Structure 1
């Protein structure tokens, strides 16, 4: 039998209002009273009726998370943390794809099913500010990734350009001078690629190394096979690098495989660095030097910003919170 708020109140010897205050986390409840209510909740295995609560508030209890490609490890790890943080608020997360061309981001930015969700978190490399500026449904939105600064929505930012510059400078500090960059994307939605390439170019300029366009290899997607294909292209083009900055870790894992197949040692012949700090890179051979951001912190900040918008002032100016990136040097650049 499903117990009601009234049953908990009778068991604890308090009013229904007091039980409601405890369940909803109100602070102005005496410690001994709170303890009695919490004990009654545990004894009765009481679970709040979230559907009824959301109905009273005009909410669905569902938020959406939109990302580029759902099987990309970095996005999958972000999604896991978003789901965890949302569950702590009693929310369900609807995950949708938004990438691969202008239509999907436009659809998500326009409102992922009117009145279907209470809010939307837009993951890395998805809608641009222009897409979001055209929304008209009023659903709160939080952007994740990319640089901070004024924008159309709340934003949890990362400085991709500065991080890529640090990773490239690390390669240069090891004596590498022919540093390739793999991962430029042709689609305009992938702002992260442009920012990371800008950081790469800035590090070369700071070191007095001429920018060689032949060392910059575009890819159709950020997958392992694309990283491997890009390295094979470099090796057969006659412009052999002594270091490779891959704009994602998945590209870097493919690059490691192609270098191994070509009989080149990493990092002896070619040093390799990636971006995103996915779990696979900690177990590759060699382990992968990478740029890392605290994805759990990013997810929790995004959920907290969204909660503030859902329950608070939706007309307030957009806010930006920045999570710093850090370089994680490992065997692919330092050796064993």
Structure 2
């Protein structure tokens, strides 16, 4: 339910009642995790998904039925693995789900939805037997799980993506990364470049010297820092500050020649070898990217690959030309 918080709050604000089907447990193979939700509004709008398509019709029927008061809150959707294989379905398995109804009057629930939309920590409890939603939470409880007949939905505060440099590549990166749930900040000291109009998908645009900003802002172990400026006066202080944090990922854009010089300047600035080894430079996966949009995809792909421990080729771990092929026509 928290994964579709923005869409739910939008329709609730418009005055609609909503039937929501939320995954409480996964049995066998399924593409979506516990907590994934699909909703149907009282005027027929469909929001979200709980599978790769195998049980969406069942979920739609259940959401509509609970909205009409014609369904029990707990249900099992999908086929057994053997039946699914015989039917030619791609995943198999089945889902235990909870069907609930939300209304515009559910103020406390909507407060948690708005918190999730704003990137703050959010939590809801769904009772399997009753299909009710409550907001009784433990502040340090961040694990989504089914326990004693209650599905505890937990979403921690959104991780940050701090983009250094207000350039075409930074705007494209903000656009590519926003669907992943990052709270996106663009920082640049140049007023003509550091504008919200140039970065419509950033949550905030900060006019400040990047090194000073990074040294003075909170950076956590789930946060990401991408330095895209291509100017040493910005790059070196920013990267020195970034590598002093425990950010999950620190990357910098530039050619291999730029990378060699940049690393030497960082060593001269006092960055120790262990910290310097964390730097992803040149930034991105080796996708042959050329345009800002393509490069943004390669950067986001590397961020995901790092988080998932993927072995996809990082440009920082390969040799040879970065731009080996032409851009797509």
Q: TM over 0.5, yes or no?
A: no
Scaled by the length of structure 2, what TM-score is found? 0.38
Higher helix share: 1
Larger radius of gyration between Structure 1 and Structure 2:
1
Scaled by the length of structure 1, what TM-score is found? 0.38
Higher strand share: 2
